[in-house]
A and B are shown apart, each in its own frame.
Chain A
Amino acid sequence: MDILLLVSIAQSILAATWRMATPLIYTAIGEIFTERSGVINIGLEGIMLIGALSGYVVTSYTDSLFLGISSAVLSGIISGLLFSLFTVTIKANQIVVGAAFNMIGTGLTGFIYRTLYSGGSTDKLVLDTFPSIKIPLLSDIPFFGEILFQQNLMVYATVVLVPLAAFILSKTAFGLYVKAVGEHPKAADTSGINVTLIRYISTTIGATLAALGGAYLSMAHANQFVEGIATGRGFIALAVVVFGRWSPWGAMGASLLFGVFYALQLRLQAMSGNVIPYQFLQVLPYLATLIVLVSLKGRGAEPKALGKPYKA
């Protein structure tokens, strides 16, 4: 195979990588905030679906992407507050509440979508999505141009999101509070930090970003909502957080790794003469995660109070 072809294949795989990684980046970064404050939210899949549906519905009725995204954010905030109400105030088992959120997300979005769009006419179903924006000059750079500078707004936003999250967590007072609350809530409480408030905020940030991750699927990558559109990405995001050792940069790396495997397996299938059963390619990202996890040997940075409700 000649070099030029290989380069072009690599280029398109890498461009696809970033697109496929984006929903994971949003959702995982959010979950980092949640978990760093000591709350684990396994209901990400459900919240992604809720965000995907609310963004889609509002956009399809108003033709405004801005209103759509706003409503996805709003649905995320509501989900986050509800989740905090149950896990922080009521102090219920966080895994239970997360499992419930997944069920509610699946059931409610399917039900609402069916009720609103049962006619079967397709004209209203398709949205005008976030267009891909070619950044002048930069997008013409050979090889990297297409990968880095011809994406849509929600993909670009991850470039801001990751350093911003890293900055907030490591350099701001709020970030310190979050970590303190997640490591030693008792000590944090004694030193005057409002554990409840910090956990509410962190959990809501987490749910909001998960909703955005879902909205990306229905409004930016695809142009419509499909029942179950998250297809397990909420669970993968949980893995990404651990894989990335609770750091935003790590999560971005892990998301990109998932993205590259995902893109690679679709590409390998599409290449002629492929004889490998497609399941072998599909299973790669999951095996890779297991292998990396083993090689890390638990040098993770799991917050010490993760999953434990704080009782003052």
Chain B
Amino acid sequence: MPVIAIVVALLVSAVVLLVAGYDPLEAYPIMWKGAFSDQRTFSEVLLKATPLILLGAGLSLTFRCGIVNLGAEGQFYAGSVVATLIGINFANLPSYLLIPLVLLGGALSGALWAMLAGYLKVRFNASEVVTTIMLNYVAIIFTGYLVTGPMQESKVGFPQTAQIGEAAWLPRFLPPTRLHIGFLIALLVALLIYILLFKTSTGYGIRAVGINAEAARYAGINVRRNILLAMAISGGAAGLGGAIEVTGLTYRLFQMISPGYGFDAIAVSLLVNNNPIATVLSGILFGALRSGSEMMQMNLKVPSVLVSAIQGIVILSVVAFSVYRDKILKWFTER
């Protein structure tokens, strides 16, 4: 069914393209080529998907727990900051120690940043919709301060940190592509979160809170503990995403280290009905759309910003299809 929805979304976007004077029959094949034409382009799609999968899988856990966590963006920043700090200051450690340390540090800081919002929710009943948005801004602005101040490479240089030690760089396993083990980690994390959520009693508790917190409380489930746990794991995944972005691709921290992964990831998770393992698919879809739109701009001058609209339309049509699935099914079966 999602496939039909995607086709519909592409049709709607085709109309937009046509109205603006571009030929979709020319544009879409180029988009396809930009994402799937060879090993290199597809590896880039997977690289783009990596943070989306990590953040999306993490978010699915909080959404399943009934928490409207809009804070993955900030948690990603928190993770990338701490990963960079460790990567620079412990550059002398051997890789087998440094890489786990960097990733762990990133995940931990993301988890703590998310738990702050979780704590404010359970302790002060502060709406996470607001606190996570605020904490996003705090993290982004603080990163801006760090890279223009204390962590800046040189005093009058550009807003970027020094490079992290080479020992912290994630190994690449498919040369000459840039594909690094961060992608595999993302797959593993998505799988682990899936198992946690659907195959363990902890996961059952988290879902029970999401379905009806009041009922869960009566059933003896510790609601506060589950909310904190869900936030911690979700933030941990996002922080890990930030750490992987730095250690896998950029090797240093920049002011705008995320192009909005945290917000795209909301859609990545919701698109597959908050199923952690399925975020692999929706993450790759979004990665492909973005890669393809870059190629579309290079070749046809179609503004690449259009990709956001296409993604939005994909979500809306998936939503509509999932609701009307039964009716559509009936329509087909009755004939």
B298-322 contacts to A (CB < 8 Å) = 303, 305-313, 315-316, 319-320, 322
Q: In the complex, A298→B129 CA distance in Å? A: 13
Residue of A nearest to B21 (CB): A115
Residue of B nearest to A112 (CB): B20
Q: In the complex, A270→B293 CA distance in Å? A: 41
Contacts of B142 in A (CB 8 A): 279, 283
B262 CB → nearest A CB, Å = 11
If the complex has contacts A92-B323, A283-B138, are A100 and B127 also in contact, measured as CB distance less than 8 A?
no
A186-232 contacts to B (CB < 8 Å) = 227, 232
Report yes or no: B130 in contact with A289, Cβ–Cβ below 8 A: yes
Report yes or no: A111 in contact with B134, Cβ–Cβ below 8 A: no
If the complex has contacts A277-B149, A293-B127, are A114 and B320 also in contact, measured as CB distance less than 8 A?
no
Contacts of A289 in B (CB 8 A): 130, 134
**How many of A's residues come within 8 Å of B, CB to CB?**
51
Q: Which range contains the number of B residues in contact with the other chain?
A: 35 or more
Report yes or no: B311 in contact with A103, Cβ–Cβ below 8 A: yes
Chain B binder among A9-17, A51-59, A139-147, A238-246 = A238-246
User: Which among B124, B126, B270, B323 has the greatest number of chain A C-beta atoms within 10 A?
Assistant: B126
Q: In the complex, A287→B126 CA distance in Å? A: 14
Residue of B nearest to A297 (CB): B124
B133 on interface, CB distance cutoff 8 Å: yes
Contacts of B124 in A (CB 8 A): 293-294, 296-298
Contacts of A108 in B (CB 8 A): 16, 306, 309
A238 touches which one: B133, B148, B263, B315 (CB < 8 A)?
A: B133
B150 CB → nearest A CB, Å = 10
Contacts of B68 in A (CB 8 A): 40, 95, 307
A280-312 contacts to B (CB < 8 Å) = 280, 282-283, 286-287, 289-290, 293-294, 296-298, 300, 302, 307
A93 on interface, CB distance cutoff 8 Å: yes
Residue of B nearest to A111 (CB): B306
If the complex has contacts A279-B141, A283-B142, are A97 and B305 also in contact, measured as CB distance less than 8 A?
no
B125 on interface, CB distance cutoff 8 Å: yes
Residue of A nearest to B149 (CB): A277
Report yes or no: A238 in contact with B130, Cβ–Cβ below 8 A: yes
Contacts of A99 in B (CB 8 A): 263, 266-267, 270, 312, 315
Report yes or no: A290 in contact with B315, Cβ–Cβ below 8 A: no
Report yes or no: A86 in contact with B316, Cβ–Cβ below 8 A: yes
A92 touches which one: B120, B129, B141, B320 (CB < 8 A)?
A: B320
Q: In the complex, A296→B124 CA distance in Å? A: 8
Residue of B nearest to A101 (CB): B312
Contact with A along B254-287 (1 / 0, CB 8 A): 0000000001101100110000000000000000
Q: In the complex, A115→B18 CA distance in Å? A: 12
B205 on interface, CB distance cutoff 8 Å: no
Report yes or no: A115 in contact with B303, Cβ–Cβ below 8 A: yes
Report yes or no: A286 in contact with B137, Cβ–Cβ below 8 A: yes
Contact with B along A83-117 (1 / 0, CB 8 A): 00010001111011101111111111011101100
A286 touches which one: B134, B145, B307, B313 (CB < 8 A)?
A: B134
A235 on interface, CB distance cutoff 8 Å: yes
A169 on interface, CB distance cutoff 8 Å: no
A255 CB → nearest B CB, Å = 14
If the complex has contacts A86-B319, A99-B267, A286-B138, are A300 and B306 also in contact, measured as CB distance less than 8 A?
no
B182 on interface, CB distance cutoff 8 Å: no
Contact with B along A15-56 (1 / 0, CB 8 A): 000000000000000000000000010100010000000000
3 closest A-B pairs by CB:
A298-B125, A107-B309, A107-B308
